[in-house]
Amino acid sequence: MVEISRRNRERIVILQFIVPSLMIIGIFILFPITKAITMAFQEWILTSSSPDHPFVGMNNFREVFSITHFPKMITNTLVYTAGSVGGKMIVGLGVALLLNRKFIGRGIVRGLMLIPWAMPMVVVTNVFRIALDPSYGLFNALLSSLPFVDGPIQFFSNGPLALGTLVGIGIWKNFPFVSLMLLAALQSVPQDYYDAASIDGAGTLAQFRKITWPLIKPIWNTLMILQILWTVKEFELIYLITQGGPNNGTNIIGIDIYLNAFRFYKIGAANAEGILLLLFCLVFAIVYFRSMHKKGDFV
Amino acid sequence: MRMKYYANRTLLYTTVLLVSILIAIPFVIMLSYSFRASHDIFSLEIGLFPKKPTLAAYKNALFNYRFGGQGFARWSLNSLLTCGLATFFAIFSAAMTGYAISRFRFTGKKVLWFLIALTQTIPWIIILIPYYITISRMGLANNLYILGMTYMAVFLPTSAWLFVGFFNNIPYEMEEAAKIDGCSPWGIFFRIIIPLSVTSISAIALVAFVTGWGDFLFASVFLKKASLWTLPLGLTSFRGEHQIQWSEIMAMSAIVTVPIVILFIYLQKYLVDLMAGGVKQ
């Protein structure tokens, strides 16, 4: 019997702990990613029966850049991401600050906050489609009854308003996640700091700027990067309400990739767009990874 | 002074009330429409609370509604099995990996951790295309097992990330004692760590499960046959016809949503702690 050294035995145990995950990530995530990268440089004509796909260099990227709505799509993506992330962060912070105060029924409100998060996107989109419908939507009827609103609003019939409405729905759906995280951060701020500050005569605003903000800022930054990464790829919310319309007014990159691949069968172009998105995300993923390791005591 | 206190409190409670209404209103609208009779669905006078609430839409959605010869029973079974099995395997692997990252020192740990951060943030639409082309070439499209395995991969990174944060917050002393008593790492993991963390594991499992439960993207690409559909696909099927059956949609939506909402609220405390652990690490 060859004796296995203690160190090697330990290595085998550690390997056993991580092998299942490594296999899953390798087969189902890393392999498709490498395949997506190669596919972006190949010619894909699904109707031809030949099994090989010649390399065509940057042709797919050229095709993507020459699509007439490409600049609009990129602008939409950036506007949607900026608006949605900004909204989620600000609303998230506001609600977190509110729920950090003491009041009767706080537990119930904290529970309520989980509703948007727990509702499946298909359900959310259906609810907003009916609630905002110009002829029979309850929400629209409520808005029309306000004094300064002129008649029912056609939320999804013009581009900018449709995009703005989708930003609003996205904020409603996802701000609870931000709020919960910030709430956890707020709760870890010792009450003594505030007591000391108010003895020194610092007002609410000064307390926020000098105590709260510096202490929650690291989590705020990490959260914002996560939110950018999760928002830029938005698909279901928009696809299930407007499918990118009207006239590409709500077409963002996730929608465009899906439509190119599964409706127009432009596989090469879809993958090229995918690579653009991947590059964008990779930059933020690296920043995110570094921010997780700031403390340095972890690995 | 006292006046100011009451003014402050009134302002606080008004804000809280407004925020609560804004958060809950889409959920209430869903329930409101689900209790209407189909011929009342377009009537605006009824308002938020139907005068004659009826369970007809629930009955229709559960037993009578058919699309492509299939209905709620089949789709919910598909959803439960696919997401359930995927969650089980994903949580199992994620817990082991999270534990390894949290407790052991080994070369390549940083790489593994980066791999998790990267896969947690990757837009799934990027892998969807090569993935779909590969599986349809292999004749595996329209297959619930493949969808389940995909969900397993999708759930894994976020779950592992949550587990690392969670295990980092568990004190090490107990394991040290067990180690001195001659317990193996596997023994420590299965006999001490797992039994101690059942509630938190359920919360992580819930987060994973819900991701699949609401998934439309993968299911819409993989499943073309109505007999294989999951609930989100079933929920979009009410559309194509001349008239959309809104009260039935809302009834089925409520059935799909309410149990999840209850579970979320039940596990609220653990969810918050987990999320906090995830970000703070």
Measured CA to CA, the distance from residue B155 to residue B212 in angstroms comes to 8
* Mean predicted lDDT score pLDDT of chain A: 87
Q: Which of B42, B235, B265 minimises the CB distance to A123?
A: B235
Cβ distance of A120 and B44 shorter than 8 Å: no
Contacts 24+ apart (CB under 8 A), A212-219: A212/A97, A212/A186, A215/A185, A215/A188, A215/A189, A216/A182, A216/A185, A216/A186, A216/A189, A218/A291, A218/A294, A219/A181, A219/A182, A219/A185, A219/B279, A219/B280
- Across the interface, do B125 and A254 touch by the CB < 8 Å criterion? yes
Q: Are A180 and B122 a contacting pair at CB < 8 A?
A: no
CB-CB contact of A156 with A246 (8 Å): yes
Residue B144 in contact with partner chain A when CB distance is under 8 A: no
Query: A32-41, A78-87, A138-147, B221-230: which has the minimum mean pLDDT?
Result: A138-147
Q: What is the pLDDT of residue A297?
A: 36
Domains of chain B as residue ranges with CATH: 68-280 (1.10.3720.10)
Q: How many residues does chain A have?
A: 299
Beta carbons of A108 and A192 less than 8 angstroms apart: no
Task: List CB contacts of B52: < 8 A, sequence separation 6 or more.
Answer: B37
A277 touches chain B (CB under 8 A): yes
pLDDT at res. A79: 96
What is the C-alpha separation between B28 and A138, in angstroms, rounded? 11
Give the chain B residue nearest A292 (alpha carbons).
B281
Mean pLDDT of B162-167: 89
Q: Do B151 and B82 form a contact (C-beta atoms < 8 A)? A: yes
Q: Which residue has the higher pLDDT, A273 or A290?
A: A273
Say if B28 is an interface residue toward chain A (CB within 8 Å).
Answer: no
Least confident range from A245-249, B64-68, B96-100: namely B64-68
The angle formed by the CA atoms of residues B198, B199 and B200, to the nearest 5 degrees, is 95
Cis peptide before B53 (omega within 30 of 0): no
ipTM of this complex prediction, to 2 decimal places: 0.88
- Interface contact A12, partner B, CB < 8 A: no
Full set of structural domains in chain A with CATH: 60-292 (1.10.3720.10)
A295: pLDDT strictly greater than 50: no
| Whole-number percent of chain B with pLDDT over 90 | 37
Given a cut of 90, is residue A237 above it in pLDDT?
yes
What sign results for the dihedral spanned by CA atoms A11, A16, A21, A24? positive
User: What is the rounded CA–CA span in Å between residue A33 and residue A123?
Assistant: 30
**pLDDT band, very low/low/confident/very high, at B179 (cuts 50, 70, 90):** confident
Q: What is the pLDDT of residue A298?
A: 41
- Percent over 70 (pLDDT), chain B: 95
The pTM for the full model equals: 0.89
**Gap from A66 CA to chain B (nearest CA, Å):** 21
Looking at residue B87, its amino acid is T
Residue A299 has pLDDT above 50, yes or no: no
Give residue-wise pLDDT tens across range A99-127: 988 888 888 888 888 899 889 999 999 99
Chain B neighbors of A20, CB-CB under 8 A: 92-93, 96-97
Say yes or no: A53 contacts chain B, CB-CB below 8 A. no
Rounded Cα–Cα distance for residues B10 and B15 (Å): 9
Q: Which residue of A has its CA nearest to B111?
A: A299
Residue of chain A minimizing CA distance to B13: A103
